[in-house]
Structure 1
Amino acid sequence: MFIHPILSLHIPLFLSIYIQTYHLLPLRKQTFLFSFHSRERGNMLAIFQKAFAHPLEELRSPTAVDESRAPKRPEEIMKGFHSLHPDNSFSANFGGGAALASCSDARPASFHHRRLFCSFDEIYCMYVGVLDNLSSLIRDYGLCKSTNDAQLVIEAYRTFRDRGPYPADQVVKDLAGTFAFVLYDNKAGTIFAALSSDGGVPLFWGLAADGSVVISDEVLVIKGSCGKSYAPFPPGCMFHSEGGLRSFEHPMNKIKAMPRVDSEGIMCGANFGVDKYTRINSMPRVGSSTDWTVWDESCL
């Protein structure tokens, strides 16, 4: 299998089992995408270089730790991920300093959660969860009936990226259900990630040794990769590499970083939450010509 925008792709033979379907689906006229589906349990891992990810420095632990628990470099993290899952993992490495990886295991997954990896127009999305209003969103976006959750997320991202009629927070807020996703736009070199308000899917993020952003739905992967420089991804929030962290539930409120101490009493990366007492000065009108992919950095 050859996927043009990816410079290197690691996909073992297990995909004949892990990928229950591999097919081309029409998203719009004369456009196509590929889709990997799985209902097995597994892990997803994303690594993005500091230069374009613009990570939040509050994630970095101020406490010095011994070398065995220090953050690792991106290549070590990816190598370790494949070492943990030698027969059932795959990864895609991009020339711009991004890498995506996923695996499955033999344990049954929740019937209600789907694990998807999709790509369209050089936009790559790793997704876990289920959208309760998928059918209605498919009609709203004018997509084919066989569109899955991750494909819908890609189309929603394209809507606000290309200056659609709604701001980014409204686009994500329209997604009803339990979900977590990490999306990478290879053309624009941007990252977009979000976690549903109920926090029903675990999602964590942290910093590698070189400052790269590491995102995973498995806390042990994050701990082994980032040492103490990690934190849970805040529910009801979205992260964009150009605009930072925002709440899509409370878009008019700023996000506040709060120090986090683990069970060992060591200061770790901060927890993030909505500051109910501090509001953003203003937001552009819905339907204006404002580019919603660049959010006001003063809100952080």
Structure 2
Amino acid sequence: MLAIFDKTVATIPKPEGLELHTAESVSALKDECLSSYFASKYPGSIEIDRRPACMICSKTDVRDPISPSVFAMKDDIFCFLRGRIENIPDRLTVYKVKKEINDQANILIDAYITQRRRDGDDGPEPKSQKTIRQFYWFSLLKGFRGNFAFVLFDARKNIMFAATDVGADTGLPFYWGTDVEGNLLLSSDVEIIKQGCDKSYGSFPKGCYIMTSMGLRSFADPHKELEVEQARDNVGNLCMMVNLEA
């Protein structure tokens, strides 16, 4: 999976002085080399082109017993889910979501729609009302167990959301980074992410989410935006790392 979001839709909190790009770096949204590379590496993949806001590519495979990749679309909302949510029946009972339990990407969309502001209701919103509206969504996601990562994009409102499960740090590969223009990239393929981000990438932190206008946060402490630092990977190369202790 590959998702590219314009920096006006989603941003990574970047410390001053952190620069991991080279003079040859190009915009992943303006230059189609990255999406073409993905298509050549994964023949038959799906591409959702909603530029200038975003571009999403994915190879669906529902037959993979360990890490299936599924796609769903409803009301101009797109969701790519990789992996499996194990406790769907329990969560659906608690939150009264009526959906086939095998249709996990659509379950995420339906849960998101429940908390989304109604079309046309775009004026100022009291903070207390927003908190109540989002409580359902975050509570449902925080309670999911399994081994998964997903990306959701609401094209009507230009809102993105991406998250990983809250389990131990042994899950599916899922990376994030920025291109030379500060656009956000998310991918399950480290070679794809390197191609688009140079050294400005890292593993997406477990149990965390990123959302338009909210930045990166942890399900364990959603009131605090997380920080990004420069680090070195296991072979000594520069990369970026999330400071979960700051």
Q: Percent identity?
A: 28
**Does the CA contact (< 8 Å) of 1:72 and 1:209 recur in 2?**
yes
Give the superposition deviation at 1:166.
1.9
TM-score (norm 1): 0.67
1:164 to 133, 137, 140: 133
The whole-number CA distance in structure 1 between the counterparts of 2:180 and 2:225 is: 28
The whole-number CA distance in structure 2 between the counterparts of 1:104 and 1:123 is: 17
| RMSD value, Cα | 2.7
**Does the CA contact (< 8 Å) of 2:174 and 2:189 recur in 1?**
yes
Matched, 1:135 2:135: no
Give the superposition deviation at 1:112.
3.4
Match of 1:37 in 2: none
Does the C-alpha gap of structure 1 residues 177 and 63 become closer, same or farther in structure 2, counting only changes over 3 Å? closer
Determine helix, strand or coil for the equivalent of 2:205.
coil
Give the superposition deviation at 1:252.
4.9
2:80 to 115, 122, 126: 126
2:36 to 62, 79, 102: 79
Q: What letter matches 1:93 in structure 2?
A: D
Match of 1:187 in 2: 156
**Does the CA contact (< 8 Å) of 1:96 and 1:189 recur in 2?**
no
Q: What letter matches 2:98 in structure 1?
A: L
Give the superposition deviation at 1:83.
2.8
Match of 2:244 in 1: 274
How many residues in Structure 1 have an aligned counterpart in Structure 2? 226
TM-score (norm 2): 0.80
The whole-number CA distance in structure 2 between the counterparts of 1:191 and 1:131 is: 20
Give the superposition deviation at 1:229.
0.8
Match of 1:259 in 2: 230
The whole-number CA distance in structure 1 between the counterparts of 2:116 and 2:242 is: 25
Determine helix, strand or coil for the equivalent of 2:195.
helix
Determine helix, strand or coil for the equivalent of 1:46.
strand
- Between 1:183-192 and 1:149-158, the stretch displaced more is 149-158
Determine helix, strand or coil for the equivalent of 1:93.
strand
The whole-number CA distance in structure 1 between the counterparts of 2:237 and 2:19 is: 9
Does the C-alpha gap of structure 1 residues 124 and 165 become closer, same or farther in structure 2, counting only changes over 3 Å? closer
The whole-number CA distance in structure 2 between the counterparts of 1:146 and 1:235 is: 24
* Structure 1 unmatched ranges of 5 or more: 1-43, 279-300
**Does the CA contact (< 8 Å) of 2:78 and 2:154 recur in 1?**
yes
Match of 2:56 in 1: 100
The whole-number CA distance in structure 2 between the counterparts of 1:129 and 1:60 is: 36
Give the superposition deviation at 1:116.
0.7
Does the C-alpha gap of structure 1 residues 129 and 266 become closer, same or farther in structure 2, counting only changes over 3 Å? closer
Matched, 1:88 2:44: yes
Give the superposition deviation at 1:191.
0.7
The whole-number CA distance in structure 1 between the counterparts of 2:202 and 2:162 is: 15
**Does the CA contact (< 8 Å) of 1:72 and 1:226 recur in 2?**
no
Does the C-alpha gap of structure 1 residues 158 and 98 become closer, same or farther in structure 2, counting only changes over 3 Å? same
Q: What letter matches 1:145 in structure 2?
A: E
- Look at both structures and tell me which one has the larger radius of gyration over its CA atoms: 1
Alignment of 1:51-62 (within 5 A): 51-58=8-15, 62=19
Determine helix, strand or coil for the equivalent of 1:249.
coil
Match of 1:226 in 2: 197
Determine helix, strand or coil for the equivalent of 2:182.
coil
The whole-number CA distance in structure 1 between the counterparts of 2:34 and 2:57 is: 11
Q: What letter matches 1:88 in structure 2?
A: G
* Structure 2 unmatched ranges of 5 or more: 118-131
Match of 1:154 in 2: 109
The whole-number CA distance in structure 1 between the counterparts of 2:104 and 2:74 is: 13
